[in-house]
């Protein structure tokens, strides 16, 4: 059975959340299997990684709460529905990980920024960094 390192697992979770953001009615396991099969660095065989599926499910279960937190850091006149799906998926994942798992907050931020480097542009990375730093490092 193939295993994923932590970065690969986060990337699979992010890509699954992104896909579900575009098609919210899709089945998580089906999307995750498609994501893993499409990664040229991973030859996926066997069962799906339970930790990735659990993380995706948890982010989706807490999506409304995460979106409220993100909304707190948007400029006047901006709403969550104006954000692109990539940025939103990265921020939801990082905030959930930083607040609800044993992942250190700085690691959640750094991983999100590394994924942003691969999947977004400079403006998005700066925006994601600003929101995550406020959401995960300011006193709540």
Ordered by start, the domain boundaries in the chain are: 6-137
Count Cβ atoms below 10 Å from residue 72 Cβ, excluding itself. Answer: 11
Per-residue model confidence (pLDDT) at position 1: 46
For 104, other C-beta atoms within 10 Å of its C-beta total 12
CATH 3.60.15.10, applies to 6-137: no
Q: For residue range 60-79, what is the model confidence (pLDDT) as tens digits?
A: 999 999 999 999 998 888 89
Torsion sign (Cα): 88, 94, 30, 68: negative
> Residue 21 in contact with residue 85, Cβ under 8 Å?
yes
Mean pLDDT of 35-44: 70
User: What is the Cα gyration radius of the chain?
Assistant: 15
What is the distance between the terminal CA atoms of the chain, rounded to a whole angstrom?
41
Asked if 58 contacts 96 with a C-beta cutoff of 8 angstroms, the reply is yes
Which DSSP symbol is given to 1?
-
Is residue 43 predicted with pLDDT exceeding 90? no
Secondary structure tally for the chain: helices H, strands E:
7, 0
Whether pTM > 0.85 for this model: the answer is yes
Answer whether 46's CB lies under 8 Å from 3's CB.
no
pLDDT at 135: 94
* Continuous segment of H or E residues that includes residue 30: helix 28-37
């Amino acid at each position: 059975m193939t295993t994923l390192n932590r970065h690969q697992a986060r990337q699979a979770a992010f890509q699954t959340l992104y896909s579900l953001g575009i098609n919210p009615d899709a089945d998580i396991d089906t999307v995750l299997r498609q994501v893993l099969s499409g990664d040229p660095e991973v030859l996926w065989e066997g069962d799906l990684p339970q930790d990735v599926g659990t993380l995706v499910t948890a982010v989706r279960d807490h999506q409304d709460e995460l979106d409220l937190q993100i909304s707190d850091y948007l400029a006047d006149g901006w709403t969550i529905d104006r954000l692109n799906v990539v940025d939103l998926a990265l921020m939801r994942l990082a905030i959930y990980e930083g607040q609800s798992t044993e992942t250190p907050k700085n690691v959640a931020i750094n991983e999100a920024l590394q994924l942003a480097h691969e999947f977004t542009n400079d403006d998005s990375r700066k925006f994601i960094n600003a929101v995550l730093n406020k959401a995960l490092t300011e006193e709540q």
